[in-house]
Structure 1
Amino acid sequence: MSTTIRDITSADIERVIELDRRLTGTPRRNYHEKRMAAAAAEPNSFVTIAAADGPVLKGFVFAHILDGEFGGTGPVGVVETIGIDPDQRGNGLGRKLMAAVEEAMRKRGIRELVTQADWTEHAITRFFQSAGFELAPRIVLERGTGDVSDFEAPLAQQVRDSDEVDLSDPSGDDYAALSRDRVPVRSLTEADYPFIVSIDRKVTRRDRSTYYKRKISEVTKESGVRVSLVAEVDGLFAGFVMARTEYGEFGRAQATAILDTIGVDPANAGHNVGRALMSQLLTNLSSLGVEKVQTQVAWNSFDLLRFMARCGFTPSQRLCFWRKLN
């Protein structure tokens, strides 16, 4: 029977989940169901393609379009998951799926594909190489969530003005002992959208309102656990960090959270807003059982790299790949 390349439908979801479980060893039902729901809600932002012999799905690929993720300067297509039935490997299904993704992205005006893989995953790195991908000029950074003692206290603590703190007591919690330098942090909500867009426009000089509209919907509605945060100074919006868990892009385990973007109002530069957000994010993730957080940074974003280094991030064992589309 000849192979058909077509869009994934709701009838394929169980086969996708089972095939992915065979390939990764991890059931990711929630990830796939949420991705399918997001694709149905925003079909222009997602590409979900199946390779099938009759009604039987033999392979699949999930990709989506992002504009501004990880500090990017333009829209890109992100290949986040590709799976081929082990019994069908060597039959060219992977190349057919990638060709379909490329065609779909070209029709949407996308001229660049990006993806990731662990450097030890030799089969997938060889596949990306054969598909025309090269190493991208980006670095994947990560750090554990279990120990935030390297942060200056009490940047993420929320202490009421009425709280009495004995600064002379060395036996007290260091976070509380320096609470006079606190930056209040709270959960991000949909109502924060205009403030986030305003800060981002100040920093990037670009209008990325569409990106943030989708991203806020993702982190407040689609993600199983809300971990994105907002910082305030004197009761005013001062900065934000957007992160998520549970999706499992690029084959990551759910014990890894993804830091998508962080922004601080230039008016609050030097007030430790960014470190407050990062400290609280790590604390919250640790309490949820998330072991580490990862992000991407362009190799020449030196200010951001310095900030991430001060926050304890180091290069991970993951590689970024990209391919230019003609």
Structure 2
Amino acid sequence: MNTHAATDAAVTVRALAADDLDAVVAIDAAIEGRTRRDYIERRLAAARREPAAHAQFAAVVGQSLAGFILARVLAGEFGRRRPALRLELVGVRNDLRHAGIGRRLFDALDTWAQRHGMAEMRTAAEWRHTDMLEWFDSLGFDLAPDQIVDTAVEPGSWRPERDGPVALEAGEGPGHEIDYGRGEANDHERVERDGADVRSMVPEDLDAIARIDRDITGRDRHDYIAARLGEAMDDAGVRVSLTARRDGAIVGYLMARADLGDFGRTEPVAVIDTLGVDPEYARRGVGRALLAQLFANLGALRVERVETIVPQRDLALLGFLHAAGFAPSQRLSFVRAREAGA
């Protein structure tokens, strides 16, 4: 088909449906050079479980799927008070590229975001992915005032030198989800966990975690934390949640997930969404213990890197992560703020 044959009149944009799975997988495989069926199937299933938290659209030409776009609502991530929308994945059939289908899909997403009160859109991509960066620029995205940092998963090799009352929020994204919620460990990492007893989070931990988070952030994010904990309980392959205990009480927590689907992803990466330590237990090794347990789990499951996103102004948090071996990532964070009155 001629790339210009798909005129505005010929393209229909509708909500993505479960029956679109095979076509989405095929388009994505043609773009990426490999199949990511498990990842895409999980993203569509997550939207069915929690429809208010996802926006997913399909572009149809004739009777065939021509493209798709997937996004997710950010409620507590990035430390934001108002909800935002994170663009996770977009794909257009190779024979229909440059026919304006990507723009039609984005416009549908933007209309959805406006209707649901999203303050902004966010996304991320590797700096070498120039085609995607040019597309973001044409849509009005700017570099975000955040820094993505990452490190290799080499349990025992990182250099934790300090701990602090931190609350860490990272961007939401898709994942080639792997079950890394299991508690594998070995004696090499055990010394790093002496700062606390680290174990998997359970629903009964919610109130204590929400209290610590409130002490750190000054805001009540009980609902956000409950939603992420519920996700971990429903599917341990999507998310892992850990708590740290000292003196018989919860004094810290960490939430992370596996991610392979974002633009430019080539291997499983663990993304830390939230990390918090009770201010009364600052500098007692609690944060180090949580990271050490996470690294042990990821190393056992052959996930090679872990990343997170931090506001550039949060020097204390950046210092903590840099001391743990994190460094600036090759990926950039972008934001598209809604215009006043829009």
TM-score, normalised by the number of residues in structure 1: 0.88
Would the aligned equivalents of 1:255 and 1:291 in 2 still touch at CA under 8 Å? yes
Number of paired residues? 308
Say yes or no: does 1:184 pair with 2:192.
no
1:80-102 deviation digits (Å, cap 9, x = unpaired): 10111111111111111111111
Would the aligned equivalents of 2:239 and 2:255 in 1 still touch at CA under 8 Å? no
Match of 1:200 in 2: 213
1:20 corresponds, among 25, 28, 32, to 28
1:82-134 deviation digits (Å, cap 9, x = unpaired): 11111111111111111111110111100200000000001111110011111
**In structure 2, C-alpha distance between the alignment counterparts of 1:224 and 1:179, rounded to whole Å:** 25
Say yes or no: does 1:96 pair with 2:104.
yes
The amino acid across from 2:103 in the alignment is: R
**Local SS of the residue matching 1:64:** strand
Would the aligned equivalents of 2:152 and 2:304 in 1 still touch at CA under 8 Å? yes
Match of 1:213 in 2: 226
**In structure 2, C-alpha distance between the alignment counterparts of 1:202 and 1:94, rounded to whole Å:** 43
Would the aligned equivalents of 2:82 and 2:118 in 1 still touch at CA under 8 Å? no
**In structure 2, C-alpha distance between the alignment counterparts of 1:226 and 1:64, rounded to whole Å:** 15
Give the C-alpha shift of residue 223 in structure 1.
4.6
Match of 2:167 in 1: none
| Aligned-residue identity in percent | 39
What's the C-alpha RMSD, in Å, of the aligned pairs?
Answer: 2.2
Say yes or no: does 1:268 pair with 2:281.
yes
Q: 1:269 to 1:182 in 2, by over 3 A?
A: closer
Match of 1:136 in 2: 144
Once the two structures are overlaid, the 10-residue window that deviates more, 295-304 or 69-78, is 69-78
Say yes or no: does 1:303 pair with 2:303.
no
1:213-237 deviation digits (Å, cap 9, x = unpaired): 2211223323526532111002211
1:120 corresponds, among 100, 115, 128, to 128
**Local SS of the residue matching 2:240:** coil
Give the C-alpha shift of residue 305 in structure 1.
0.6
Q: 1:227 to 1:310 in 2, by over 3 A?
A: same
Match of 1:63 in 2: 71
Would the aligned equivalents of 1:138 and 1:299 in 2 still touch at CA under 8 Å? yes
Would the aligned equivalents of 2:244 and 2:251 in 1 still touch at CA under 8 Å? yes
**Local SS of the residue matching 2:263:** helix
Q: 1:86 to 1:277 in 2, by over 3 A?
A: same
Would the aligned equivalents of 1:242 and 1:259 in 2 still touch at CA under 8 Å? yes
**In structure 1, C-alpha distance between the alignment counterparts of 2:117 and 2:316, rounded to whole Å:** 31
**In structure 2, C-alpha distance between the alignment counterparts of 1:42 and 1:147, rounded to whole Å:** 34
Once the two structures are overlaid, the 10-residue window that deviates more, 33-42 or 100-109, is 33-42
Q: 1:152 to 1:125 in 2, by over 3 A?
A: closer
TM-score, normalised by the number of residues in structure 2: 0.84
Say yes or no: does 1:85 pair with 2:93.
yes
Once the two structures are overlaid, the 10-residue window that deviates more, 99-108 or 188-197, is 188-197
Would the aligned equivalents of 1:148 and 1:279 in 2 still touch at CA under 8 Å? yes
**Local SS of the residue matching 1:250:** coil
Match of 1:238 in 2: 251
Q: 1:87 to 1:147 in 2, by over 3 A?
A: same
**Local SS of the residue matching 2:46:** helix
Give the C-alpha shift of residue 209 in structure 1.
1.9
**In structure 2, C-alpha distance between the alignment counterparts of 1:11 and 1:181, rounded to whole Å:** 50
Q: 1:303 to 1:238 in 2, by over 3 A?
A: same
Would the aligned equivalents of 1:84 and 1:94 in 2 still touch at CA under 8 Å? yes
Match of 1:111 in 2: 119
1:255-307 deviation digits (Å, cap 9, x = unpaired): 21111110111121121111110111112101100000011001101111111
Q: 1:227 to 1:42 in 2, by over 3 A?
A: closer
The amino acid across from 1:296 in the alignment is: I
**In structure 2, C-alpha distance between the alignment counterparts of 1:180 and 1:118, rounded to whole Å:** 33
The amino acid across from 2:231 in the alignment is: E
Match of 1:286 in 2: 299
Runs of 4+ in 1 over 4 A off after TM superposition: 173-176, 178-181
**In structure 2, C-alpha distance between the alignment counterparts of 1:226 and 1:79, rounded to whole Å:** 19
Would the aligned equivalents of 2:160 and 2:324 in 1 still touch at CA under 8 Å? no
Would the aligned equivalents of 1:197 and 1:208 in 2 still touch at CA under 8 Å? yes
**Local SS of the residue matching 2:220:** coil
Q: 1:208 to 1:69 in 2, by over 3 A?
A: same
**In structure 1, C-alpha distance between the alignment counterparts of 2:141 and 2:152, rounded to whole Å:** 29
Q: 1:284 to 1:18 in 2, by over 3 A?
A: same
